[in-house]
Structures are given as structure tokens and as C-alpha cells.
Amino acid sequence: MFQGHQVAVIIPAYNEEGTIADVVSDFRAIECVDRVVVVDNNCKDATAERAREAGAEVVEELSPGYGCALRAGMNHAVSTGADVLILTEADGSFWGKDLWKLAYYLLDADMVLGTRTTRQMVQQGANMDKLLRWGNVSMAKILELFWYLPHEPRLTDVGCTYRALWAQTWNTIGAGTREAGPSFSPEMICEAYRKALRTIEVPVNYGARKGGESKHSASFMKVAKTALGMFKTICRKRFLG
């Protein structure tokens, strides 16, 4: 529990059997975490088994995609009593101890976003070279510009999974999200601004993957495809709703 609120960590997973147990254990070791929910998004390996063995709840989501998995995980957590939702990755690139930072800032906000673009907190071997880092910053500045009035946001990374939000925040913005893939991350932010919810950003540590390969940024073409999708989503949310 965190200040009397039940905390659930949501981890979307697709074929992460090599890392999922360590990630679940890392977050379960955080004193305020009550539950860890792993979303099995059509895994073809032993991800679900390794997650259960490590103490996680496993939810199946057949619709493929990062956004679909996170929606399923948050819907499950909220419907079963969670008050605070922490989103993170299955690859071990985020540190469990940073959860405290997100949680304390959440006391003054509706949603707290992590950012991986603070250079001093990007660890050696992390998948965050200059191109990727500045690409994330550029996309964040576009979103900033579109919502400068009336919110005046300060953002540097719209694609960071590591974030915290209240169950009520998800209840408010969830119906307005539809992206299946990585564009779900900026879509959440856009919808929060559309609903006039207080959204802030704080730096988090970002390390090397403990295994596997990124589904969205393993090559220049994947990065370009992801960036284009995010740009289209931000434009849609701002101008079409």
C-alpha cells in the first residue's frame, strides 16, 4: 500500500521468458507494491509460467500490441481494486526503486510520466543513442506545442512506458484511447490534456535490456515507423479528438 492506496504494477509482455521473473521480483520487492500484473500478449514461450512462478498475476490479451496489452492490464487491475497503476516494461530496462519517485509525485498530479532523456540517468548499454533520445525529445516538443494553451506542458519523452496514474485517471481517459501499438503512450498523454488532468514528468533511470530485442526501436526503420505513428496520433488527438 502507498499512503493507504493499493498499488498494482502492470507489465505488458510478448516473449520475455528470459527477463520477466527478474522484473516481477524487482517490483514485488518494493514495499508499497501490492500486486504485479503481467499481461500475456500472445506469448509463444514460457513468459506466463515464469511470471506466475515469480508471484505475478497473469492476464491474457489476445489482441496484439503494446497498447492493447496495457489497456487489458489496467482494466483488470482497476476492476479488482487497484487505486494506483504503475506501468513498466518486461525487459528490465527500468528500475523498481524509481517507483517511489513516481508515487510521491502522483500525490500532486493525476498522472506522472517518466522520461528517459536525462542523459545523466541513461545507463551504459541502454537503447537510447543520440538519434533515439532527440527523436523522443522532438516528438514531445510537438505535443507540447499543440497543447501549450491552456496547459503549458513541459515534456521531453512521450514514449516512456514507466509512468504512474490513479485508477480514476484511467477511468477518465481510458475510453478515449484506441491505439494498439506504441502510439498508445502519447495517446494517453493527449487524452489527459483533453480532459484537463494534471500531468507531470520526472527523470527515471534507464538501463540496458536484460534480454531480447526491442519490438519498436531495434532498427532505424522501426524507430521511423514508431515516430511516424506517434506523430499521426498526436495530430489526430489534437485536431480531430
Reading the block at residue 241, the C-alpha cell is 479528438
User: d(Cα 171, Cα 163) in Å, to the nearest integer?
Assistant: 16
Q: Distance between alpha carbon 133 and the CA centroid of its chain, in Å?
A: 17
State the chain's maximal CA–CA distance in angstroms: 48
How buried is 151 (Cβ within 10 angstroms: 0-12 exposed, 13-18 middle, 19+ buried)? middle
| Res. 134 pLDDT band, cuts 50 70 90 | confident
Output the average pLDDT for the chain.
93
Question: How much is the pTM?
Answer: 0.93
Q: Which residue in 23, 175, 172, 200 sits closest to 103, CA to CA? A: 200
pLDDT at residue 130 tops 80:
no
Q: Judge contact between 69 and 38, C-beta under 8 A.
A: no
pLDDT at residue 205 tops 80:
yes
| Res. 19 pLDDT band, cuts 50 70 90 | very high
Residue 214's pLDDT is what?
55
pLDDT in tens, 218-239: 566 878 899 899 999 999 999 9
Within 10 angstroms of residue 114's Cβ, the number of other Cβ atoms is: 25
What letter does residue 204 receive in the DSSP assignment? -
- Give the CATH architecture of domain 7-239: Alpha-Beta Complex (3.90)
Domain ranges of the chain: 7-239
Q: Position of cell 512506458?
A: 161
Q: Judge contact between 9 and 35, C-beta under 8 A.
A: yes
Residue 212's pLDDT is what?
57
